[in-house]
Structure 1
Amino acid sequence: MQLRKKNWASLIVLWLTLLCLGAAAPIAQAAAAPVNTSTITIGAKAGVAFDLQSGKVLAAKDDLTAYPLASLTKIVSLYVIRDAISHGRLQWTDTVTPNAAEIKLSQDTNLSNVPLANHAYTVRELYDAGWIYSANVAVMLLGNKLSGSQKAFIKEMQDHLDALGIQDATIYTTSGLNNSLIPDSLRVPGTPSDGENKMSAADIGLVVRHLLQTYPDVLKDSAVVHKNFAVTDTQTYAMTNWNALLTGNSLAQSDLPVDGLKTGTSDLAGQCLVATMPWQGRRLVSVVLHADGAETDNAKRFTATAALLRAVNQQWRPVALTPKNTKIAKMPVTDGKQDAVAVGLAKPVVAWQHNGQLATPVLAMGRKAATSAPVQKGDQVASTSLADDSLGYLPRVNTQQVNLIATQNVGKLNIFERFFRWLGNLF
């Protein structure tokens, strides 16, 4: 009889021990092997291509180094003007009349300009000239109209950049012209005589992302191929958009439906281009700074951009991770009738596939991830994010967060069951 009691005691201890081990066993999700995504060549000194909605970088070359940006500056300038319109600080119908120095500079045929006269121009006319023809003096006039001076307008430009977390931009002029090309009377006092604006390709991309997300109508403004500018009541000037890749323009390509955004050219900056097009149900943006070989070929920025856009289109695909096609490791449950609960995606998530391989899988939950009973099906029990590949996202754009929910109910142990589990843990 005594032997039977010892056997029963041993069996109870064994059962409680197994119960304890089962409850404490860690549940982990294996991480996917990293995919090499840095395979696209950019034919320029620096550049970047990214998905507008998520900020996911799809190709990059020296994209964090600040370089001269020439008239890409106008993306920032015209952003400030568009923002002022939105907030009622300017009206499209407000007018500006240039002074003699501004008229003279606008008629310099070596610079990108619409020729101005002693005539009142609307904000709308000058704004369009800035996007379509990269008209330098038109943008300078807009800056004076809004802020009272070039210096004050540059302060507003810098404030916009600061709000985006951009700290390494250098802005001397509102238009992107080198200071050496601007008469002393129109130059910002205290700036270098040869000062030229600088910004990194990634930061330019960040500005473009915020601009197009906030004011998508800018796409229509920058997509205009031909438009006449009214110099006077009787004289017009024909503007053809410098972005030759635009649909309907001279270098448009049937497989690349480019519908924006801005060119830039200077001796220091070389040939630059920001381009954008609808892609895979989303929007693709590219930035090219100082295109290779532009010294002997005026089309190099367009060639480099087309090659970049085409390579991204060939190598990258956005893919939908759904609760049905994505398996997530179970999560331990404290005081639950089951040791763990099955979890899944709360909603579909856009991830990225590179050359047929998933480059941004859902990251495994942390080893300490756990929840407490009771758990109801549909409860959010954890969050994680998509894995970063070698390219990551634009600066200060966070990796996409992924919420996880329970896909089943888990009841809570009663007091007696918790006692026996505690007893098992004690052993």
Structure 2
Amino acid sequence: MKNFKKISTVFVTTLLVGTFSPLGVVGTTVSAATSEQPEIDAAAAFVIEPTTGKVLLNQNGDKKLGIASMTKMITEYLLLETIKDGDLAWDDQIEISEYAHKISQNYDLSNVPLRIDDTYSVEELYQAMAIYSANGATIALAEHIAGDEKTFVDMMHEKVESWGITNYELYNTTGLSNGDLQGNIYPGSTEDSENAMTAREMAIVAQQLLTDFPEVLNTSSISEKTFREGTDDEIKMKNFNWMLPGLIYERENVDGLKTGTTDFAGASMTGTVEEEGMRLITVVMNATNGQKDKSKRFAETDKMMDWAFESWDMVPAFEENQLIENIDPVVVDDGKKDAIELAVKSDMSLLVPKNTDMKNTTVEVQLKEDLLNEADHLTAPIEKGTDVGTAQVISEGDELGYVNGDKGEEINVVAASTIEKANVFVLAGRWAKAFISDLF
């Protein structure tokens, strides 16, 4: 881990199972056994819990596949970020370029009609993009923010790479096949180039979007809205996420996030749902025969959601300021004491399978490198509560890990007490004792 130094590993016996736990719970058991991970009828499938990043299901999740209009989640993120930064307002008016206009007039694609001789607010174009996957509206927004689509795509590259996404191809803002863009293709790409990512990476995109801009759900949850109501361009925008309220495959509590369909990508969907205080992000890529069987991606998403809620529990692991026990001593130089105990900074829970026998949990502590001296020790004085590093809490037998590749959930670690700097006489005595010891 960058700027941290691993110092120790501690085994905490029996996490909320049996006779001891980090919280001192006695006689508690994890819920009864549940079914095995379901087989999802798609090229890839992935499920995470977004607040922790815990992976609950991974079926071929690291194979790069077409993402189609799920691309628009990245466009949405950059739009919302631009508004947050104060460089754009919802009521700003946008003029439509010839390129965006031509794309918007192609009704073989998802679109709302746009006019060159009119302007549109940022909000109505955003709603058209997020609800109806309108491609011309998406291009118009990107051009307004960046000047042209190519520059916006460069921004997309920079953003996803900042999230640790590397196994991607992004050539346009919409997810359309390059061949549908009427020659307006990204430099270095071809008519056959297609946007692509892994299911894991799509889950990361959704996680970042929901974490930084949860208000996106206010729009992604809209089942139907009229664009330009009362004008000649009025069009009913029915959300392509048919799991939303009132639509054909409605599931309670589903409130997003984005579907995508092209010949290259097949029928895909990134979904999200919250039940009993726990949110899931699900990804289905290229549902089998999904372009003919319109229910397929929704049925597979529903299956994943059912299984995840039935099969996983959020289990308390640590309380705020709880000591990390059995850890190797953390040496402190120049202090009145020569070692310090560490504690977790905040409450922490682990998401675990209901049928998992959590006999051991590993806690790997890493100290901040900028706090360590040449001997890799801390140096007094140290105030109680000082952030000194992080710990990864790893459940034994957890092969899925976390969406960012970590093996365990991370929590901040603090000094459990104050250690004052020793006076010069104590330090001199220690130096003399060490010198004599070295001689003999």
Q: TM over 0.5: same fold? A: yes
Q: Which residue of 2 aligns with 1:298?
A: 294
Per the alignment, residue 392 of structure 2 pairs with 385
Q: Give 1:239's match in structure 2, choosing from 237, 240, 248.
A: 237
Query: Contact 2:319–2:348 at 8 Å: present in 1 too?
Result: no
One of 86, 106, 110 as aligned partner of 1:88: 86
Alignment of 1:232-271 (within 5 A): 233-254=231-252, 257-271=253-267
**Cα 1:167–1:370 shift into 2, 3 Å:** closer
Distance 1:403 1:86 in 2: 31
Distance 1:68 1:333 in 2: 49
Indicate the residue corresponding to 2:305 in structure 1. 309
Point out where structure 2 has 5 or more consecutive residues left out of the alignment: 1-8, 16-29, 333-338, 367-375, 435-440
1:313 aligned partner, one-letter code: F
Q: Percent identity?
A: 29
Structure 1 gap ranges (5+): 1-26, 423-427
Gap change, CA 1:333 and 1:350, over 3 Å in 2: closer
The structure number with the bigger radius of gyration is: 1
Give the TM-score normalised by the residue count of structure 2. Answer: 0.75
CA distance 1:139–1:370, shift in 2 (3 Å): closer
Secondary structure of 2:227's counterpart equals strand
Higher alpha-carbon deviation: 128-137 or 384-393: 384-393
Q: Secondary structure at the match of 2:152?
A: helix
Aligned to 2:410: 400
Determine if contact 2:48/2:57 at 8 Å carries over to the other structure: yes
**Residue 57 of structure 1: aligned partner:** 55
Matches within 5 A, 1:13-28: none
Higher strand share: 2
1:184-216 Cα offsets, whole Å, 9 max, x none, are: 2x3335420121101111111112111111111
Q: CA RMSD in A?
A: 4.2
| Letter matched to residue 329 of structure 1 | N
Kindly state the Cα deviation for residue 377 of structure 1 after the two structures are TM-superposed.
9.9
Letter in 1 for 2:354: N
Letter in 1 for 2:110: S
Q: Per-residue displacement from partner, 1:390-424 (whole Å, max 9, x unpaired)?
A: 001112667313637769x9xx9xx9xx9xxx9xx
Please tell me whether residue 329 in structure 1 is matched to residue 338 in structure 2: no
Shift of 1:115: 2.0
**Does structure 1 conserve the Cα–Cα contact (< 8 Å) formed by 2:340 and 2:415?**
no
Deviation at 1:381, TM superposition (A): 9.4
Tell me which residue corresponds to 2:209.
211
The amino acid that maps onto 1:172 is Y
Matched residue of 2:61: which SS? Answer: coil
Distance across 2 between alignment mates of 1:314 and 1:45: 24
Contact 2:324 2:341 in 1 (8 A): no
Deviation of 1:103 after TM superposition, in Å, equals 3.2
Q: Deviations 1:320-363 (Å, cap 9, x if unpaired)? A: 1245999943766999xxxx999875543111221232658352
Deviation at 1:225, TM superposition (A): 0.9
The code of the aligned residue for 2:413 comes to: N
1:386–1:183 Cα change, 3 Å = same
Deviation sequence 1:70-116 (CA, Å, 0-9, x none): 00010111211111111122222222333455434323222111122
| Partners of 2:77 and 2:180 in 1: CA distance | 24
- Which is helix-richer, 1 or 2? 1
Equivalent residue of 1:259, what SS?
strand
